[in-house]
Structure 1
């Protein structure tokens, strides 16, 4: 399938001219105005090149191309305008990061040459990106296979973490999830240098002594040392280096590291024999350690697998069939209902009566069945 070009202008006759003049040479889509352009970009993309007029109502070409850059960073952007002003050209280059700035009327020969150059630029960008991804994946596959042979337990942990981390990132609708996936796969690679007896205790859920904790805690920095000679691994190694850092300890933790922290701590709790519900409850009780948005996304990803969606609701929103994900207590900290209980009409009636006498802490954490 050939690369697609998108032309955006607020004049329909100009868009018709582009379609007629270029359709034999390029695959051309058009959009009438910036808002329509963004809709087409998201619904019909990816586009190799976007050509935008500068002067458009509601959203001008500079603002539009800036949003194109956010939504589709590899798309090459061209500004086409009849208002050739130095200030506009500078703004287009700086804010929209445009590839070329052309003035109207632009003869068809010049436009075709510019579009061909833009397509060459797009192919260069995407080829480099795919080469980087392929090279990294190949190198990492070798390292992970070595880990699976040398330490199957560490490999198993990295596989569990990878699945949880990717599912959480998908809930958050993050971009470039493949980088987080690679970081998760390599998060335990430093364990190759940790004594086997320490790893066995860790992975079986036994408590480590202070000296053992210190030795085990070195595995992240060892992993960074092992990986730092692979080109363009900076973002991935930053996630690995900070995987054990708590959210409260630093404001600038990479998002990937915040995700790994939740996944790793959850895995530790499961290895200690806690159920998923118990492990999640324990994480909630230590919320200062985790990014709250990531913890919520992690819960959604985890319970979606089990056929439930975690929610926090007001007392009046409780319905039969919901399962309590945390204890329900009065404002005076008296336990009314224990977590794990499925709500029935009778239980709800009793809870509402008790809330009138004692008051209930809200919101209430529940699991809602997925229908």
Structure 2
């Protein structure tokens, strides 16, 4: 098992030598003589579990350094060490949650060992909890969404398309650790599962609903958010889902004064992705325009105040720079996880079984083969991602 990595930042060479001597047998010890070198070390290799910084250093001081470290690597546990009478400044950093603990120089060797050991244990707990969320919770969400696919293909198709788009947006915008956004997109339509498919199809094509259906559809973000809030550790995801229809200028649901940057960033991305999906499908299905994506962007640009400008700019850039997918007309035996349906598949009763834009997985492919039966000559229109994306999708799908 690899040793835990610890970084010490101090402008006194004697102190750095002392840290190396004390901890070299317990951890992988790296040292830096100032904040700039410390930030470079943080960026230069595997993540550090703990960073210990002096408060007073030339240039950037320890408070500012640890704050930058926290912004870039929030999981890394931070300790502040100083020989100056700056207890108030250091205590302020502790109280603001910027550092795990504060020690004064000269610090007894045993006290320093105890503090660093505790910080390493804290890092291991944080990482373990994060892996639990990524693994167990994501597996639970996958089960829920696959159940939704069987109950309501329209709702699942919408969430599948939107999930792909918001993850592309997050990647394009360089957002760190977007797993909460992925879960929010996957679960964004569970509040619609009970609505009839023909009603949802109408809503997803941008057509007005009336009566009770209009009310039920308007309330679906709240229904979904209330359900998600019951899952431990997913309060942030529930909040993103709750505000998925909130406009950047404060209009829309839910009511209240929240607007602009105060709206959760994930909800701002989700709003753009949801509306773009609706408009693109509307223009494709009803107006038969040559470039539905461009027409959808034009309509969204005309809705002043509805969207976060940065997210809308990112979407426009993505649309104008294709991501490498190729169109294919494939036999059932050629279908692979990660491919995207480029047509709707309808059962004999006329109900949509698999929606256009849905990302195929093993379950969907098996369902498709069951639906079409022995029709070996059947060809399915799909979008095929680049090979590396396809291999990754097959690996994840298992």
- Look up the match of 1:86: 87
Report the CA distance shift for 1:303/1:43 in structure 2 as closer, same or farther (over 3 A).
Answer: farther
For residues 227-246 of structure 1, what are the structure 2 equivalents within 5 Å?
227-246=228-247
Report the CA distance shift for 1:48/1:216 in structure 2 as closer, same or farther (over 3 A).
Answer: same
For residues 171-190 of structure 1, what are the structure 2 equivalents within 5 Å?
171-190=172-191
For residues 133 and 12 of structure 2, the distance between their equivalents in structure 1, rounded to whole angstroms, comes to 41
Partner SS, residue 157 of structure 1: helix
2:279 matched to 1:269? yes
2:319 matched to 1:302? yes
1:246-281: CA deviations, max 9, x gaps? Answer: 212241321111111111111111211152122112
The question of whether the paired residues in 2 share the 8 Å contact of 1:10 and 1:56 is answered with: yes
Report the CA distance shift for 1:96/1:183 in structure 2 as closer, same or farther (over 3 A).
Answer: closer
Report the CA distance shift for 1:151/1:227 in structure 2 as closer, same or farther (over 3 A).
Answer: same
- Look up the match of 1:129: 130
* Structure 1 position 84, deviation (Å): 4.8
Partner SS, residue 305 of structure 1: coil
Partner SS, residue 193 of structure 1: coil
The question of whether the paired residues in 2 share the 8 Å contact of 1:198 and 1:208 is answered with: no
Say which of 265, 269, 272 aligns to 1:255: 265
Q: What residue ranges of structure 1 are gaps of 5+ in the alignment?
A: 308-371
For residues 182 and 95 of structure 2, the distance between their equivalents in structure 1, rounded to whole angstroms, comes to 33
For residues 208 and 48 of structure 1, the distance between their equivalents in structure 2, rounded to whole angstroms, comes to 53
For residues 158 and 306 of structure 1, the distance between their equivalents in structure 2, rounded to whole angstroms, comes to 20
Partner SS, residue 28 of structure 1: strand
Report the CA distance shift for 1:206/1:119 in structure 2 as closer, same or farther (over 3 A).
Answer: closer
2:292 matched to 1:282? no
1:147-169: CA deviations, max 9, x gaps? Answer: 11111221111111011111112
Report the CA distance shift for 1:206/1:64 in structure 2 as closer, same or farther (over 3 A).
Answer: closer
For residues 86 and 263 of structure 2, the distance between their equivalents in structure 1, rounded to whole angstroms, comes to 42
Give the TM-score, by structure 1 length. 0.76
For residues 59 and 245 of structure 1, the distance between their equivalents in structure 2, rounded to whole angstroms, comes to 40
Report the CA distance shift for 1:143/1:32 in structure 2 as closer, same or farther (over 3 A).
Answer: same
- Look up the match of 1:114: 115
For residues 225 and 104 of structure 2, the distance between their equivalents in structure 1, rounded to whole angstroms, comes to 50
- Look up the match of 1:19: 20
For residues 133-152 of structure 1, what are the structure 2 equivalents within 5 Å?
133-152=134-153
Report the CA distance shift for 1:244/1:86 in structure 2 as closer, same or farther (over 3 A).
Answer: closer
Q: What residue ranges of structure 2 are gaps of 5+ in the alignment?
A: 252-257, 325-398
For residues 55 and 154 of structure 1, the distance between their equivalents in structure 2, rounded to whole angstroms, comes to 56
Report the CA distance shift for 1:97/1:207 in structure 2 as closer, same or farther (over 3 A).
Answer: closer
**Which of these two proteins has the greater Rg computed from alpha carbons?**
1
For residues 108 and 209 of structure 1, the distance between their equivalents in structure 2, rounded to whole angstroms, comes to 70
